[in-house]
Amino acid sequence: MPHIHVLDQVTIDKIAAGEVIERPASIVKELVENAIDAGATSVKVEIKDGGISLIRIMDNGCGIPHEEVRSAFLRHSTSKIQSVEDLVHISSLGFRGEALSSIAAVTQTELITKTAEEELGTRYVIEGGREVSIEETGAPNGTTFLVRQLFYNVPARRKFLKTPMTEAGHVQDLLMHLALSHPEVAFIFLNNGQEKLRTSGSGKLKDVIYNVYGRDVAANLIDIDYEKGGLRITGYLGKPVITRGNRNFENFFVNGRYVKSPMISKSLEDAYRDFTMQHKFPFAVLHFHVDGEQIDVNVHPTKMELRFQRQQEVYNTVFEGVHRRLLEPELIQKAEVPD
């Protein structure tokens, strides 16, 4: 029998990183969410080779003070919560304090950051979880992350990455959703030097829909604002004339967080049933505003799954809100139903 021993911290972090970091898009998600939590109004994301060789994320948020840079990379270090009770009222996107330590464990990471109060910023380099250097440097206010060579030290994981094109697609999808959930933030996304997405940060959801989906979709939207039983739904529905061939155009956000919810999809599709042909799916960008106590965001580290306490009520509210809106006289345009 081999003897039992406690793993060293670098190994622990490498294993834990697997929970949070699956692919380049996971890193982009964590870093952009951090930028938004830091109050950034502008976020620029650049990737090379699908983000496998390089991810560069620049924000104009609050920055990290020099004396806190090291601790930001420790596991379970966060400025966002103090205790489990805080989770109920959580308004930030992050809270686990796991992202930076996880990213640093499986990449070569460089951080340049400066707060408005500091004269000089900090440049910090950490590779495979080991600090390489920390020094003062001139820098603009805000934070820039350069993340290189994902899984360079975990060949078993690197093998499972898909082609750069597929990985870039995941990054683009993710950024679309982040842009739709944060119209107040101006996003720029470049893949191998080519601009793929740009939003203005005007604060108007409709502008972002135009930037993401184009003119045809933006010209065929129905706004919705419906509230019942403590659940408010705002955003846009696509007119039945712009239904789509798959579910990818159903976008749901709960308290600013992109979520997938088969229950909400079902409710939305049921509400559209009378207005569309079979095997067609609605276009929708719906924001759900709900009291933090009614949902559990702590279901999975990637936080895409989310549980409502009263599923049936949510189903009913979505159905009613959407169905009523589609029934409003100026919108009635029944699809032709073949007999």
If one counts every other C-beta atom within 10 angstroms of the C-beta of residue 323, the result is: 17
Residue 185, interface with ligand ADP (CB under 6 A)? no
Please name the residues in contact with 331: beta carbons below 8 A apart, sequence gap of 6 or more: 222, 239, 325
Point out which span in 14-22, 29-37, 126-134, 228-236 binds ligand ADP (CB under 6 A). Answer: 29-37
User: What do you get for the CA distance between the two ends of the chain, in Å?
Assistant: 72
Q: Given candidates 38, 217, 271, 295, which one binds ligand ADP under the rule CB under 6 A?
A: 38
Shortest Å, Cβ 194 to ligand ADP = 24
Shortest Å, Cβ 55 to ligand ADP = 13
Site string for ligand ADP, 57-86 (x = CB under 6 A): --x-xxxx-------x----xxxx------
Site string for Mg ion, 83-112 (x = CB under 5 A): -----------x----x-------------
User: How far apart, in whole angstroms, are the C-alpha atoms of residue 156 and residue 299?
Assistant: 27
Q: Where are the beta strands (DSSP E) in the chain?
A: 42-48, 54-59, 108-114, 121-127, 130-137, 142-148, 186-191, 194-198, 221-228, 231-238, 250-254, 257-259, 284-290, 295-296, 307-308
Burial class (CB in 10 A: 0-12, 13-18, 19+), 16: middle
Site string for Mg ion, 31-50 (x = CB under 5 A): ---x----------------
Using DSSP, state whether 273 is helix, strand or coil.
helix
Report residue 130 as tokens: 């080991």
Point out which span in 96-104, 129-137, 206-214, 218-226 binds ligand ADP (CB under 6 A). Answer: 96-104
Residue 78's binding partner among ligand ADP, Mg ion, none (Cβ under 5 to 8 angstroms by kind) is ligand ADP
Residue 34, interface with ligand ADP (CB under 6 A)? yes
Residue among 75 and 232 whose Cβ is closer to ligand ADP: 75
Residue among 58 and 264 whose Cβ is closer to ligand ADP: 58
Packing angle, helices 164-181 and 24-37, rounded to 10: 20
Contacts with Mg ion by CB under 5 A lie at: 34, 94, 99
